[in-house]
Structure 1
Amino acid sequence: MKRTTGYLAAGALILGGGGCTVDGGIQNHGHLRVVVTEICDVAMASCNPPPTADAPLPPNLGDVDEVWRFTAEAMDDAGNLDANFNGAARVSMNPGAVHLVLQGGVEQGRNIRFAAGHAEGEVLLTEMFGPTRLWVEDIGYLPAEPGQTPTCSNGVDDDGDVVNDFPNDPGCAYADDMTEEPGTLLTGVSQVIAYELPTLADVQGYSATTPYKAVAVRIKTTAPSQVVVTRVSPNGFFVSDLNEPEYGHMYAYNFNAPAGMRVCDRLTMLGGTVSEFFGFTEVTFPSYDVGLWNPGGATCAIDVDCPSGDYCRLGGCQPC
């Protein structure tokens, strides 16, 4: 993006979209306003407004692509449209994977092109789950057109900063970048697009490997899912979803035995990074909360309600 990105003014150093001032504050220099307007199937045969938290879409397991229509606008520090903002910005999402962006039916890689501060397009994506947002950021990348010699690969110091071309010039995002100027780093995220969390079976995958390899996930533990601990080991614990008897089982590698956890404990929250370990899907670096069983008016609510030496699990006081 061709814009001035650094200057000294009133004792403050301004860098890109937000700069550090001499007194430790943050100087605001605008942002990108991103709005997802429709969710469509890949054939564009059916489009609907974005889902709400009360009616989320099912998790996308990476086996189908979806299309989001969206708009993006560059806003100045007063909240007005910045018509001087032109060029391209990078499109990504979290969680999920972006395949490509289209504008007017023309593929733009994973970029969206602005004209007079405005851009709109369609993004092809997959692997969404839970609260998902679209992310647009000006990283200073202007991809070369076919037949053009990229500025970041021409052997010339085009911006006069002593270094030239990718990867030496910090203003070159990629080798096919048409500018050695750094981006403004103006950034925007969309509203939350609501998807359900994946179940244990979804994360395990219904084939040889997980659809979420090397992805940090939070796993669904609310009804109808019932995630319980089935074994505690010296390095972690095994869990099962009682609602998914075939595929709803997994090992959580915790590096040590989780303190205080017992077999039949119910987990009210479970998350971590999914990995494949010698053909077995597991969750590493797990985060979890242990809840209490209390179905149908159990005789105890918490451990302190039980006699000494007993604990509250499975709907009643149990011996340790």
Structure 2
Amino acid sequence: MVALDLAPLHGEAEERVHPRKGVKVGGPDALWKRLEYGTLIGGMAIGAMLGVWWMFTHQMTWIEWTSLAVGYVVINVGVGMGYHRYFTHRAFETSKPMRYAIGVLAQLCCQGSVLRWVADHRRHHAHADQCGDVHSPVVDGMCNNEGTLKGLFHSHIGWLADATTTDLDVFARDLQQDPVIMWCHRTRWFWAFVSMAGAPFLFGYAFGGLEHGIGSMLVGGFLRTFLFLNIVLAVNSIGHTFGSERFENHSHAKNNWILALLTFGDGWHNNHHKHPRNAYAGLAWYEIDVNGYIISGLEKLGLVWNVVRVPTAKAD
């Protein structure tokens, strides 16, 4: 399987594939990507639809709403602090037990393994909104320029089913030698089950019996993970299309305050692309960054250290 430089494809040239370094086209990896994401998101979507039906046909109590709210906070921190700021950008250091704990938090998000999430995100930063990006609204995986609507679709969800995959030997060679990350990778389906079904059902059953167990699973499990998945995917699509730009950073990344509130800070995406290793996406006092506050709190407790604070990361 080739992994060379990708050039934009036009006319007859579309028949020839020239992947950029770090990007694979076709083959077993693309098939397994489609199968895994199709199974994960398909199951999540079916459960979410049942959750919506349940909300309109059964009494909703504090049990179901608490299951949804607590679960939303857990997976929000799992993505923002776990997948993103720690495992991808190494914004702080921590102990081995904490690495496992953060890894589990990340896997509870049901967005694929830490290994592939981090590899894809590294590729995104390496080729942000250029040929080779994983999920850009400007250019697709085959380096064709995208129109606004088509680009939004590709960057939001279309990339999950395209023919390209990230070459782990280029963007994740170190991760494949990391026992914590590989353990998370091997156990990812177990944690997805725990997040969407097991934990919400047990919570609801413990406080209200079988009916509330089912309701908590459908609403606080499947519906919650599906809604949050789309919020995270919106950072790829809306977050690279609508919002403000404080910095010029060779990408279309935007600061979007709605996404920032919904993602606990990751919606300050323009700030992040300018200073990707900075532990704090919010740079001004009014840019709420809950994941940044959590990192600061863990630092004060001595659970994390060497937190990256970029001296030049200042808001205008």
Q: What TM-score results when the alignment is normalised by the length of structure 2? A: 0.20
Which gives a bigger RCO, structure 1 or 2 (Cα 8 Å, sep 6+)?
Answer: 2
Larger Rg belongs to:
1
The structure carrying a bigger helix percent of its residues is 2
Q: What TM-score results when the alignment is normalised by the length of structure 1? A: 0.20
